[in-house]
Amino acid sequence: MKQNANSGYSAGYNIYNSTNRRSGNDRRKKFVIICLFICMICIILDIIFISKLVSKGKKDVVAPTSSSSAPVLTDESGSVIVPPSDSSSDTPASESEGVRTQTVDAQTRATNLAAVQTQIADYLNKQTGRFGVYYINMNNGETLAFNESQPIVAASSIKIAYNTYLYEKAAAGELTMDEKIIYNAAKYPNGDYEGGTGTIQNSADGTEYTLYDVSHLSITVSDNCGTNMVLRRLGGEDAVNNNYMKTISSVVDYRSDVQYTDYAGTATHGRRRTSAIDLAKYAEHLYKDYMADKEHYQPLINDLCNTEYNWGVPGGVPSNVTVAHKVGFHDAYYTNNDVGIVFGTEDYVLAVMTESGNALTAQQIIGEVSKMIYDYVESNYA
């Protein structure tokens, strides 16, 4: 068979063309590999660059001062131990950290405290009614008292103790604030219903709440039904009194039948009485809980700072000063009380209990006593 004149050329051409294709493919592969290598190098450089930026940002953040990060030391009585200042520092701590410095010596301060105690006694002795006052300074442990042990109807001011105990149980893991509790519309003590202040009383029987809900209402609107639900979860009034309140203070036993003479000179008796010193001790206990575990107790402090009742202790301090407080009032017993934690230049607790014939005047009296205490504390500073 005659061979085509172009066949040999054709065959040689195909072989050459195949070789060129392989060479082109190799070059492309090398190009891709080089590109990938360059991309990897760029990524690594980007990571290093970003890491340096993040590190620089962290260095730019101002570290907390030693006073805010150092643990708070207390003595056996719970009073704060203030370490001696570092005299080598060019800038006083009060100027560099915004802390005010007491400008009076211990003797002058003691004189000032005695003066305000006399001022409060003179003021209250001129008023109509029975009054009890107890002040505890959380910074140095000093106290001031006026008829602090006399029994007066506690009313809703006792709810500060109930709810602190509830939060302590939660902190101990014995309950959770988001667990459910069902409203029992039967009358207390068989159920939760109690008239007076609050909104839960308008709920249908079987309405579901969380423990936080009922505690929140117990404090912010002084909800009686919510308080009874808190008590039910804690085992009842006697259990709370015996297992908690009496372990803190029971100058007047809340669950005992107490005999006394009321503001009108009438001999009377009854339970659910307490005293100014007892209320102050319950608030002091909450303050120490809060200082030890702010995150856990912050919701309770928030509620106490945001109640619908602004009379009492807050009425005697400037509006920019934070006060966590719980009022209590009972028209049938002419009672108006308030117990609060004042977060100021020095943190302190103040309980003022009143029994008189005029609620508005009593509330103003509490505010006036609160102002005297606040002014005394401030008078010790520049």
Model confidence band, residue 4 (pLDDT cutoffs 50, 70, 90): very low
Please check the confidence at residue 49 and state whether its pLDDT lies above 90: no
Count CB-CB contacts under 10 A for residue 218. Answer: 29
Q: How far apart are CA 132 and CA 332, in angstroms?
A: 19
Please report, for the chain, the start and end positions of each structural domain, with discontinuous segments joined by +: 106-379
* Contact criterion met (CB below 8 Å) for 281 and 302: no
Residue 34's pLDDT is: 74
DSSP state of 243: I
Query: Cβ neighbours of residue 375 under 8 Å, at least 6 residues apart?
Result: 116
**pLDDT 10s digits, 323-340:** 999 999 999 999 999 999
Q: How far apart are CA 353 and CA 338, in angstroms?
A: 6
Residue 42's pLDDT is: 63
Q: How far apart are CA 303 and CA 298, in angstroms?
A: 9
**Averaged confidence pLDDT in the chain:** 84
Q: How far apart are CA 83 and CA 66, in angstroms?
A: 12
Q: How far apart are CA 45 and CA 51, in angstroms?
A: 10
Is 119 buried (19+), middle (13-18) or exposed (0-12) by CB count in 10 A?
middle
Instruction: Please give the CATH superfamily to which domain 106-379 belongs.
Output: DD-peptidase/beta-lactamase superfamily (3.40.710.10)
Please check the confidence at residue 314 and state whether its pLDDT lies above 70: yes
**pLDDT 10s digits, 24-36:** 556 666 666 776 7
**pLDDT 10s digits, 69-81:** 333 333 333 433 3
Count CB-CB contacts under 10 A for residue 365. Answer: 23
